[in-house]
Structure 1
Amino acid sequence: MCRWLAYSGTPVLLDAILYRPTHSLIDQSLHSRLGVETTNGDGCGIGWYGPQVDTPAIVRDIGPAWSNRNLREIAGHVSSPLFFAHIRASTGTAVQQTNCHPFRHGRWMWMHNGSVADFHRVRRDLALAVDPRLFPDMEGSTDSEMMFYLALTFGLEQDPPGAVARMAGLVERTGHEHGVEFPLQMTVAVTDGHRLWSFRYSSQEASRSLFYSTRVETLRALHPDVAFLREISDETRLIVSEPLGDLPGAWNEVPESTYGVVQPEGDEMLPFAPQAA
């Protein structure tokens, strides 16, 4: 389906995360180990926050990440404390820029791996649930963007976990009404530029892979010779569809039906379940 990563912490060049790791997201675009598809070549995108603007910059392209010269150029010159990166494998919707992730609304960014099952059957009903004031801002045709705007409709800006739970509840209820047994498959990342939330859930309780990095101070103790670990703060975190390398002790699987938040006052990981919209 797709692969993605979210970074929060010490400002770094995007290149340090996107290209340098042994099993970087660029490598995963050709050689995914844990994804449904080995190749994720139906577009790519990055979004990042700069020092003087509250809204994120978004760059998306329909070409594959492994040969995208613009992505390579940006990654070598842009530094950010919080960024998203995504490589796409389409589940049926068109390969076009407006269908590439991340998606943006105001200061918020969203990206998704997974699918709304039989989206063509439930799309109309889901679209009618989107706040009419938000609907004109939708540009593409994907289930992922629909999920984002449903979450915005259900209060994402005030209560991200609750809004995503209500979105998931509506998708499941609508799918069941149309005879879909397992309507939702998702790993999602969403941020307002200050906090970062991630979700792992599927109706079948067999969600796509998702991992988070071990605390930096623990990794320094395990691997004192790794220079990168000496250059980043204790608050630095990575959330990834699959590990970026084989460094022992570096990666932990996000449990099924769980969400986490990376935030200045301390990270949290809590159970996730859909709610009635």
Structure 2
Amino acid sequence: MCRWLAYSGAPINPSTLVLDAQNSIVAQSLNSSLGAEPVNGDGFGLGWYPSGGTREQTPALFHSTEPAWNDANLRELSTAIESPMFFAHVRAATHPPIQQTNCHPFRFEHWMFMHNGAIIDFPKIKRELTFAVDPELYPHIEGTTDTEVLFYLALTYGLRDDPIAAVGAAIRKIEEVGHAAGIRFPMQGTIAVADGSTIWAFRYSTQHQTRSLFHAVDIPTLLQMYPDIERFRIFDRSAHLVVSEPLNDLPGVFLEVPESTVVVLDGTGYHHEAFLDDAWVPASGVPTSHG
């Protein structure tokens, strides 16, 4: 479906992770070992908060419908930019069309949002879900993707006040509408949300067989594990990274995020919280199965 990464820490060039890592996002766009599809060539996006900006500064975006491996502008930009927080995403389109407004990450005010997965049978329930978006937010939807609707549902349900509760409420709405339409497992995916100072990374699916998600170990642990790898010394102690799949094959560097979990990345480290780990209960009051 897609591959993504989210970084926070001292400002670095995004190319360090997007291009130069052993299993970089660009490498994954050509050959993803853990993705639902090995090739993610239906466009890409880079979103970043400027270095030295304020907490609520609007992030910058670069979207392209070119395959990530074939876009010279990505190399130019990612080596010139320095950012303390950025998202990168390569797309394998669940639903066409291939256009810039359908490339992740999405942005509203100082918030960024991206997703790997799908709202299953989205065309079947698109109208009802879109009509659930706050009318004041609806005009900001520019593309046709399920992810953008999910983002604006989360904004509708209070993303700016409580990101975890809002994403949970948006997913429960998708499950409610999906089950009413006869869709057994409506929600699938991993999600990243950022506000310029914190990143929230979610792993959840109605079926509880969610796409892969990992985060790196903290930098002091990494340097203890691999003291002779000079490349790791470019990251300061505050660096945190969450990814769809590991960027290298070194044992212990990346830890899998458990099912039904949100990982919060902030200045104090990684924090795991249970996320929608109970059975979804429809209006009838009969719990659904996780299996």
Amino acid at match of 2:263: G
CA distance in 1, matches of 2:185, 2:256: 23
Q: What residue identity is the alignment partner of 2:5?
A: L
Number of aligned residue pairs: give it: 277
Corresponding residue of 1:7:
7
Q: How does 1:141-152 map to 2 (within 5 A)?
A: 141-152=144-155
Task: Show the 5 A alignment for 1:7-46.
Answer: 7-46=7-46
Q: How does 1:4-153 map to 2 (within 5 A)?
A: 4-50=4-50, 51-52=52-53, 54-153=57-156
Q: Is the 8 A contact 1:169 1:276 kept in 2?
A: no
With the length of structure 2 as denominator, give the TM-score of the two structures.
0.93
Matched residue SS, 1:76: helix
Q: Could you tell me the percent identity over the aligned residues?
A: 48
One-letter amino acid of the structure 2 residue matched with residue 3 of structure 1: R
Moved segments of 4+, more than 6 Å: 274-277
Code of the aligned partner of 1:239: V
Q: Which amino acid counterpart does residue 52 of structure 1 have in structure 2?
A: G
TM-score, L = length of structure 1: 0.97
What's the secondary structure of 1:242's corresponding residue? coil
Q: Which moved more, 1:257-266 or 1:172-181?
A: 257-266
- Unaligned 5+ segments in structure 1 are none
Residue 220 of structure 1, aligned match among 215, 220, 223 = 223
In the alignment, structure 2 segments of 5+ residues that lack a partner are: 283-291
Quote the residue 1:159 is aligned against: 162
Find the aligned partners of 1:263 and 1:246 in 2 and give their Cα distance: 25
The letter of the residue matching 1:8 is S
Which of 204, 209, 220 matches 1:206? 209
- What letter corresponds to residue 62 of structure 1 in structure 2? T
Residue 196 (str. 1) matches residue 196 (str. 2): no
Question: Deviation string for 1:124-172 (max 9, x for gaps)?
Answer: 0001110000000000000000000000000000000000000010000
Look up the equivalent residue of 2:53 and give its one-letter code. Answer: Q
**Distance in 2 (alpha carbons) for counterparts of 1:160 and 1:67:** 35
SS in 2 for 1:163: helix
Deviation at 1:264, TM superposition (A): 2.1
Q: What RMSD over aligned residues (CA atoms) do the two structures have, in Å?
A: 1.4
Deviations 1:94-151 (A, max 9, x none): 1000000000000000000000011011000001110000000000000000000000
Deviation at 1:228, TM superposition (A): 2.9
3-state SS of paired residue (1:267): strand
The yes-or-no answer on 1:186 pairing with 2:179 is no
